[in-house]
Amino acid sequence: MVDSVQPVQKKVLVKKIKVLVKRPVAPAPAAPAVITVPVKRPVMVKVPVKRTAAPAPAAVPPAPARAPAPPITPPNPSDRKKWRRFAGGKEIKPLIYEVPLDLIERVNARKRIPEKLFLLFIFAKTLAEQNAKRDGYKFPPMLIDLPKDTLEAAEMIDDVDEDIYDALLSDFREIAPFIPGLERVMLSSDSVEDLIDDEVRRARNQDALTSAQQVVLAFLMILADMKMVQQNLELHEISKEQKNIVDDIQELEADEKAMKRDFIVAIQRKGFPVNATKLVNNYFTLAKKDPEKAYQTLITNPLYFSPIQMDKLPKKFFGLLPAGPKEARAVNRRLATFLKHLKV
C-alpha cells in the first residue's frame, strides 16, 4: 500500500482595507425662470388739507402764597380766657387784691379760724399798703408774702400752725400803724368783749363802717372766736381729766376688791380662827388713812382688825378646858408671820 501524500492546505488571512472612493455629485437643479409681469401701481397724490387748530389751554392762575404761620408764644398767665390751670379738679385763678366794701361779711363767711385770720390779713395788708402809699410812707417788709393764686392760698391756709399764727400776729403789729384804730386795740389791756363794745359805740352814729373800722372789728371778732375755742379746749381738758380720775378710781376700786378677795381666801384656807372678811376690810380702811401704820399693825398684831374667835380654838387637856389667852397670842403670832410673807 502506497501512502499517498495529501497536499497541505494553508489558510491565508486576508486583511480588508477600506479605500475611499470619490463619488460623483449630482448637479443642482436649475432655477426656475422668473417671468416679470408689469403691474400698474396707484400714484399717491398729496392734497393740502386745512386743519382746525386746537384751542390753547386756559392759563391756570397761580396759587396764592400761604401766609406764614404765626410764631408760637406762651400764653399770658394774666389772660384767663387763654390760659387756665387746674388742680384737684378746680381751676387755679390768679388773685386780685382789693379791699371789699363787705369786708366783715367776707371774713365771717369762712368757717375755720385760720381761714378767717388769713383772709383778714390779706385785706388789712392791702389797705395798709394803700394808706402808706397815699401818705408817702415806706411800707415795712412782712414775714408772710401774699399768695399769687388760689392754689397757693389754699396751701398756705392748710399749713397754718402755731408758727404761722405767730408770724400773722407779728405782721398785724407791723401794719397796725397804717390802719386807724388797729394799733389802739392791739395795745389795749381791756378784754376782747369790752373792746368790741367800745368799737360798736364809736360807729353808732355812722351810716356805714369805713374799711379801717371793718378791719378792727373783724380782728376783734376773730380774737373772740379764738378765746372761745381756747375756753372750750380748757373745758374739754378739764372734763377729760375728770373722766380720767374717775376711771382711775374705778380701776383702783376694782383692784382693791380683787386684792381683798385674794387676802380673804388665803386666810380662810389656812384655817385661822378669825373673821377674815372683817380683818381685811378693816385693814384697807386704815390703809387709806395711814398706810404705814396699817401695814405694821397687820404684820405684828393682825387681831387688832378682827378679834379671835375663841370658840374655834381647840380645847386643851383632852378637850376638857377651853383655850385661853396664851393660845390666842400664839394664833396672833402665827397669823402675823403668815400675812407678812403673803403675796397676792
Q: How far apart are CA 344 and CA 341, in angstroms?
A: 10
Distances (CA, A) of 61 to 30, 57, 64, 65, 270: 79, 12, 9, 12, 130
E strands, the chain, in order = 85-87, 90-92
How far apart (Å, rounded) are the C-alpha atoms in residues 59 and 290? 128
pLDDT in tens, 1-58: 444 445 555 554 544 545 454 555 555 555 544 444 454 554 454 545 455 555 555 5
pLDDT at 220 (0 to 100): 92
Q: Range of 312's domain? A: 271-340
Candidates 195, 201, 194, 200; CA nearest to 183 is 195
End-of-domain residue from the set 232, 262, 280? 232
Q: Are residues 204 and 297 in the same domain?
A: no
Per residue in 138-177, pLDDT (tens digit) is 999 988 888 888 787 777 777 767 777 788 888 999 999 9
| 197/305 same-domain check | no
200/72 Cα distance (integer angstroms): 58
Per the domain annotation, does 242 fall within a domain?
Answer: no
Q: Is the pLDDT of residue 303 over 80?
A: yes
Average pLDDT score, the chain: 76
Residue percentage of the chain with pLDDT more than 90: 20
Q: Does any domain span residue 280?
A: yes
Which pLDDT score, from 0 to 100, does residue 319 have?
A: 56
CA–CA distance, 80 with 99 (Å, rounded to integer): 22
Query: Is residue 45 domain-resident?
Result: no
What value does the mean pLDDT take over residues 299-320? Answer: 75
Q: How much helix, strand and coil, in percent to the nearest 5, is found in the chain?
A: 50, 5, 45
Cα angle 120-145-89, degrees, rounded to a multiple of 5: 80
Query: Mean pLDDT: which of 37-46, 133-142, 321-330 is highest?
Result: 133-142
CA distance 304 to 316: 25
Residue bearing cell 379801717:
212
C-alpha cell at 123: 385785706
Q: Which of 201-215, 227-241, 325-339 is most confident?
A: 201-215
Number of domains in the chain: 2
